[in-house]
Amino acid sequence: MGGIQSIDKGYYEISFSSIGDMERVRSAGSWNLNPGVLKLFTWSKDFNPSVQKLSTTQVWLKIHGLAQEYWRPKIIFAIANSVVTPICIDFATNKPIFNRTFGQYAWVLVDMDVSKPLRYKVLVERQGYAFFVDLE
């Protein structure tokens, strides 16, 4: 019988009852938990979660300065994708246009490499017009 056990620092050990089960799970590479992504990797000998040096993390990114016509999932994902890897948009940002109240920012859950310099602005361009949005 398989199982899952927390081993500290956000790491879990998953055991399987068969090689076939393990191969099916591993073939996905990662799992969308909505929100968030579970990243999988093969166990390594003498693994110690306390000494792992991860450079990526999942965080909520705020995009400030978007006019209503840009509040579309495809556009918001494209803006976020110019600096990080977008995962999903929050519920309020993803509401249909007629049910949405426009706030001061759009929320996007992203996978971010914290070893790279942070970007605080992105230039958004369309034919004949360009503007900056602030990222937080």
- The reply to whether the predicted model has a pTM over 0.75 is no
Contact (Cβ atoms closer than 8 angstroms) between residue 80 and residue 63: yes
**Rounded Cα gap, residues 93 and 106, in angstroms:** 6
Considering the domain architecture, whether residues 31 and 64 belong to the same structural domain is answered as no
In a domain, 104, yes or no: yes
Considering the domain architecture, whether residues 84 and 123 belong to the same structural domain is answered as yes
Tens-digit pLDDT profile for residues 87-110: 888 887 777 767 766 667 899 989
Contact (Cβ atoms closer than 8 angstroms) between residue 37 and residue 30: yes
According to the model, what pLDDT value does residue 40 have? 80
In a domain, 49, yes or no: no
Domain count, the chain: 2
Among 5-14, 20-29, 57-66, 101-110, the range with the most confident prediction by mean pLDDT is 57-66
Considering the domain architecture, whether residues 76 and 17 belong to the same structural domain is answered as no
In a domain, 50, yes or no: no
Range of the domain at 36: 3-41
Token digits of residue 55? 């450079």
pLDDT category, 64, cuts 50, 70, 90? very high
Token digits of residue 51? 């000494």
The rounded percent of the chain whose pLDDT value lies above 90 is 26
pLDDT category, 53, cuts 50, 70, 90? confident
